[in-house]
Structure 1
Amino acid sequence: MRPKILLVEDDASLVELVSYNLEREGFDVIRTGDGEEALVLAQEEKPDLVILDWMIANLSGIEVCRRLRRAPATANLPIVMLTARAEEADRIRGLETGADDYVTKPFSPRELVARLRALLRRLRPALSGGNLEHAGIVMDTSAHRVVRDGRTVQLGPTEFRLLRHFLEHPSRVFSREQLLDAVWGRDVYVEQRTVDVHIRRLRKAVNSTDSGEELPDVIRTVRSAGYSLDPEPSLVRA
C-alpha cells in the first residue's frame, strides 16, 4: 500500500523537489498550490497525510488547517506545516491550530521523509505493514483473518474490506458516499443504503460473542455525517 500525500505548496521548484523525493520513497503525491482546492482534494482524494505550506493562494495554510480540523471527515487527518516562519510563536500557533508537526524552510528532503514516516507510523499504523489493531480487534490482512479478544470473527468479503478501511483510518468519520468509493469502488453503482446494511452485518459479527453477550460497539454512527471506528467503544448503539 502506497501512502497518499496531499502536498499544498505554491513554490513550483519546491513542489518538484518534494514530489520527486516522496515518490522515490514510495509515496503517491497529489499537488496543489491553492488553499480552496486543498480543502476539496482532502475530501475527494482522502489522503493519508497533508503537507501544508503556511503561505498559499486564496486561503492561508493556517486557515486550511483550521477548516480541516473542523470537518468530521478530515478532523484526524495528519498535517505537517511547511513554512519559512521559524519563530517560536509561529510554530506554537501552527501546532495549536491543529498541525501534527512543523518543518521550517530550508529543510532536508530526507529529514522531511523521515518525519512523515514517523508520523504515519504513529497515526496510521496500517501504512507501516503488519497487523491492524484497535480496541481488541486484530486483523491479519495477509491471512485474511480477524480476531477480537481472542475470538475469531467471521466476516464476508465486503465486511472485511469495510473493517479494514476503518482500521486503516481510526477515529476518522466517513460518509456513506466515501465508504462506497473506498470499499466498492467509484466505477460500481451501489445505493448508499447498501452501506447501512453492511455496517449492521459488520457490527453484529464484531460485537457479538459465542455466549450471546454484546461487546462494546466499535463503530459509531455520526448523525448526518456517516460512520467512524470509535476510539472509545461503547455499549450504547447509535
Structure 2
Amino acid sequence: MDSTNYKILLVDDEPDILEFVSYNLRRENYTVLTAQNGQEALKIAQAELPELIILDVMMPEMDGIETCEELKRIPSLKNSIVAFLTARGEDYSQIAGFDAGADDYINKPIKPKVLISRVKALLKRYHPDNSAEPVVSNSEIITIGDLVIDRERYNIHLAGEEMILPKKEFELLLLLVSKPEKVFTRDEIYSAVWGDNIIVGDRTIDVHIRKLREKIGQDHIRTIKGVGYKFVV
C-alpha cells in the first residue's frame, strides 16, 4: 500500500495545528481528515476507517485520552493506529496515553521532516489482514487453560468472560503465549510488537504488561528482572 491509499485522521482543537500538519501530510500524498474534538473524531473514524489517527491530548468536552479509549472499543477500528501529538511531555501524561491504548506518543513542536518520518514508521505497522507476527498456529482460536484468545476478533475470554483488548496489548499477549515459559527480552518484545523503526518510551512495555495483568490476572505474566517477561501456564 502506498501513501496515496492511507487515510490519516488529525484531531486537534487548534486550527493552526490542523492546517500545519495537514499541509505537510498532504505533500506526502496522504489523504487527511480533520476533527476539532473527540466526538467529531469518533464519527469520522467510524465512517472513514483511517489507518492512522493522530490525537491531541488537551481538547474540550472529550479529551484525547477519553477519545482514544472510545476508539479502542470500536471493533471496526481495531487495526487503526493511534498516536498522540501533544505538547504535554510529562511522564504521567504519556503513561495515561499508553494506558488508553495509544500506539505512540509524539511531542510537539516537531519539525515537518521528523513528523513525516514518524508517520511513515507508524504506518509500517499497519496490518489490515491481521496476519502479522507473531503466528501461534493456523487456528484463529488459541486456548491455554481458562484463557481463550480469538486472533480474528482481537478479543479474549477468561473463565467465560469476554474482553476486547487494545491492539498492542493483544499483540503483546499473542507474542508471550506463542512460547509459554520462554523469556522474551525487552528488545525482542519491542521488535515484534512495535517494530524496529518505532521510537517508544522506556516504560511502554511496562505499562502494557501492567494493563494485561489487570485484565488476565497477575499470575500469567512473570517478570524476569533485568531480562524481560514470560507467560506462565
Give the TM-score band, short-chain normalised. 0.5 to 0.7
Q: In structure 2, how many angstroms separate the alpha carbons of the residues matched to 1:13 and 1:217?
A: 45
Q: State the partner residue of 2:126.
A: 124
Deviation at 1:88, TM superposition (A): 1.2
Q: State the partner residue of 1:13.
A: 16
C-alpha distance 76-124 of structure 1, shift in aligned 2 (>3 A): closer
Deviation at 1:31, TM superposition (A): 0.6
Q: Taking structure 2 as the reference length, what is the TM-score of the superposition?
A: 0.54
Q: Taking structure 1 as the reference length, what is the TM-score of the superposition?
A: 0.53
Q: In structure 2, how many angstroms separate the alpha carbons of the residues matched to 1:37 and 1:221?
A: 26
Deviation at 1:74, TM superposition (A): 1.7
Contact 1:5 1:27 in 2 (8 A): yes
The runs of 4+ residues in structure 1 deviating greater than 3 Å are 215-222
Q: Which amino acid aligns with 2:122?
A: L
Q: Flag the structure with larger Rg.
A: 1
Q: State the partner residue of 2:31.
A: 28
Deviation at 1:80, TM superposition (A): 0.8
Q: Is the aligned partner of 1:99 residue 2:102?
A: yes
Q: In structure 1, how many angstroms separate the alpha carbons of the residues matched to 2:73 and 2:152?
A: 18
C-alpha distance 25-60 of structure 1, shift in aligned 2 (>3 A): same
Q: In structure 2, how many angstroms separate the alpha carbons of the residues matched to 1:24 and 1:221?
A: 35
Q: State the partner residue of 1:111.
A: 114
Deviation at 1:116, TM superposition (A): 1.1
C-alpha distance 89-44 of structure 1, shift in aligned 2 (>3 A): same
Q: Which amino acid aligns with 1:75?
A: K
Structure 2 gap segments, 5+ residues each: 132-137, 142-150, 155-170, 175-233
Matched pairs, number: 140
Q: State the partner residue of 1:38.
A: 41
Deviation at 1:124, TM superposition (A): 1.6
SS of residue in 2 equivalent to 1:56 = coil
Q: State the partner residue of 1:131.
A: none
Identity of aligned residues (%): 41
Contact 1:10 1:33 in 2 (8 A): yes
Contact 2:79 2:126 in 1 (8 A): no
Deviation at 1:217, TM superposition (A): 6.0
Q: Which amino acid aligns with 1:120?
A: L
Q: In structure 1, how many angstroms separate the alpha carbons of the residues matched to 2:28 and 2:50?
A: 16
Deviation at 1:89, TM superposition (A): 1.5
C-alpha distance 216-119 of structure 1, shift in aligned 2 (>3 A): same
Deviation at 1:57, TM superposition (A): 3.1
Contact 1:49 1:79 in 2 (8 A): yes
